[in-house]
Amino acid sequence: MRILLVEDDALLGDGIRAGLELDAYAVDWVRNGEQALHALAGHSYEACILDLGLPGKDGVAVLKETRRAGDRTPVLVLTARDTREDKIGGLDAGADDYLTKPFDLGELQARLRALIRRASGSARPVLEHRGVVLDPSTKRVTADGCEVMLSAREYALLHDLLSHPNHIRSRAQLEESLYAWGDETGSNTVEVYIHHLRKKLGADFIRTVRGLGYQLGGEG
């Protein structure tokens, strides 16, 4: 679950990144509008957190431009302005949700989860497959009712696979979802985490599609 954070303020950006990483998100943090457009064009993100008060090209301009380019990444807007006009302006420019500064980290995380859930076309707050239930709000995973302990990366990988139940996810896609810029990635780390997940959830829970990538195992 990779998130783009667009925030010019060093302290706030740092805090949000740290807070989201606690929730096992991979966070790319850029500090101005141009970099944001560049990042959105080059990668696929589960969601984008966008501060409207950016120097240079401001948040609304970024939003309009990405939407014009056909980008459908869910966008949560952060704003210091709390008049109705500001909120309406942000939403009309293509934002999916907004938060007014200062905000609660827990609320930011919850809104982000809701955004990602809606974007995946699911109204259910938990992800489920073959008795394995992942609850993004508590970050708990259970298999047939018993809690399964997962590391942050394992959790993120499982979340990605459960979010795309009928898709084959390539190794590159999974890596991109798992790691932000600058994260150290080994040559076979995805394989390592898949291996761990199979050990914890059952060998046939994740299927290898030779030459293409990985997919959730069939029902039954």
Enumerate binding residues for other proteins (CB under 8 A): 8-12, 14-16, 18-19, 22, 31-32, 53, 55-56, 78, 80-81, 100-106, 108
CB of 101 to other proteins, least distance (A): 4
Instruction: Provide the pairing of β-strand 213-216 with 140-143.
Output: unpaired
CB of 204 to other proteins, least distance (A): 33
C-beta closer to other proteins: residue 14 or 204:
14
C-beta closer to other proteins: residue 92 or 104:
104
Cα separation of 35 and 39, whole Å? 6
Cα separation of 94 and 40, whole Å? 14
Q: How many CB atoms lie within 10 A of CB 20?
A: 23
In DSSP notation, 59-101 reads HHHHHHHHHHTT----EEEEES--SHHHHHHHHHTT-SEEEES
C-beta closer to other proteins: residue 17 or 169:
17
Question: CB-side exposure of 203: number of CA atoms within 13 Å?
Answer: 0
CB of 68 to other proteins, least distance (A): 22
C-beta closer to other proteins: residue 101 or 129:
101
CB of 55 to other proteins, least distance (A): 4
